[in-house]
Amino acid sequence: MKLIRCFMLLLCLTAGLTVCLAADAPATKSPAKSAAASKSVKVNAKDGATMVWVSAGEFTMGNDKNESFWQRPQHKVYLDGYWIYKNDVTVAQYRKFCQATKSTMPQQLAKSNDNYPVVNVTWKAAKAYAQWAGGALPTEAQWEKAARGTDERNFPWGGKGIVEHVGSYPSGASPYGCMDMAGNVMQYCADLFDANYYKFSPSHNPADTDRNLLLEQNKKSAMKQKDKDVGTTVVGRGASYKWQQPVTFSSTMRFSCIMTGSEDTGFRCVVNSPAP
């Protein structure tokens, strides 16, 4: 039996996090809709992915009210503007990449088809896809802003707890129009995982990608970890269909994922092309 690649539910429960059970849980605030927002969409010519624009500016990252120290302290972060994929990368899009680069197409779920999120992709392969498509994996700060918006919302949508076509629940869109940010599959971020990262992360365009820096900071931390637990996994965001009941997860939730891929982990990309 294939090893489950992300420690999500166990870590959540042991950390005492609140998991809200709901079938298609209503948003706490309706996603912002405007004529300007409708113009902030374009298609990546490389893979045909629809991208939405996240404008430059400050947002609140983390959550001081959550019992998990992984999400503390809550802090302000400034990000440059960026395009982010509206949906997870699909099976069809990843197959196109494999054909173009002569890479091996990973095995997909039995019920999967071209419009399902691609899974069983390693973190390294996901990064290679993003580079081929003219972008990168999102940092966890980019992912959280795209999911949460700038008004500190925590539970803006819900999920069914099963894997389905990407974008199957448009009422669950994020403030910027991103889909499946709390359902279908977990999503890789560019960052290496460090439970203490928020305690020393920069306030402008943070990217937790240097393990040597993480190890150095760990030596100074009051909550010191073993070296083997610092920067050896990557950040996962979102939620997995593997939960047996419908769930709604906070947009600030962070998970530690191993890099070798799993049947409930996918990814989306960001592209730093000019603003609309």
**pLDDT (tens digit per residue) in 49-80:** 999 999 999 999 987 776 566 677 888 999 99
Q: Look at 176 and 200; give whichever has higher pLDDT.
A: 176
**Is residue 87 included in any domain, yes or no?**
yes
Collapsing DSSP states into helix, strand and coil, what is residue 76? strand
Q: 254-257: long-range contacts at Cβ-Cβ below 8 A with a sequence spacing of 24 or more? A: 254/68, 254/70, 254/71, 254/140, 254/193, 255/6, 255/7, 255/8, 255/11, 255/186, 255/193, 256/6, 256/7, 256/11, 256/193, 256/195, 257/5, 257/6, 257/7, 257/123, 257/186, 257/188, 257/193, 257/233
In the block, which residue shows the tokens 């503390």?
72
The answer, yes or no, to whether residue 247 has pLDDT greater than 80, is no
Return d(Cα 266, Cα 138) in angstroms, integer: 12
pLDDT 10s digits, 97-133: 999 999 999 999 998 999 999 999 999 999 999 999 9
| Predicted model pTM | 0.81
The answer, yes or no, to whether residue 181 has pLDDT greater than 60, is yes
Domain harbouring 65, CATH code: 3.90.1580.10
Q: Which of 84-98, 158-172, 178-192, 197-211 has the lowest average pLDDT?
A: 158-172
| Domain enclosing residue 204, as ranges | 8-271
**Is residue 91 included in any domain, yes or no?**
yes
Nearest CA to 155 out of 13, 20, 256, 265 is that of 20
Q: Look at 139 and 159; give whichever has higher pLDDT.
A: 139
Q: Look at 71 and 39; give whichever has higher pLDDT.
A: 71
Count the residues in the chain. 276
**Is residue 228 included in any domain, yes or no?**
yes
Q: Look at 142 and 158; give whichever has higher pLDDT.
A: 142
> Residue 78: its pLDDT value, please?
97
The answer, yes or no, to whether residue 8 has pLDDT greater than 80, is no
> Residue 223: its pLDDT value, please?
61
> Residue 198: its pLDDT value, please?
82
The answer, yes or no, to whether residue 154 has pLDDT greater than 80, is no
Task: Provide the domain count of the chain.
Answer: 1
**Is residue 2 included in any domain, yes or no?**
no
**Is residue 3 included in any domain, yes or no?**
no
**Is residue 1 included in any domain, yes or no?**
no
The answer, yes or no, to whether residue 81 has pLDDT greater than 60, is yes
pLDDT 10s digits, 15-36: 333 333 222 333 333 344 433 3
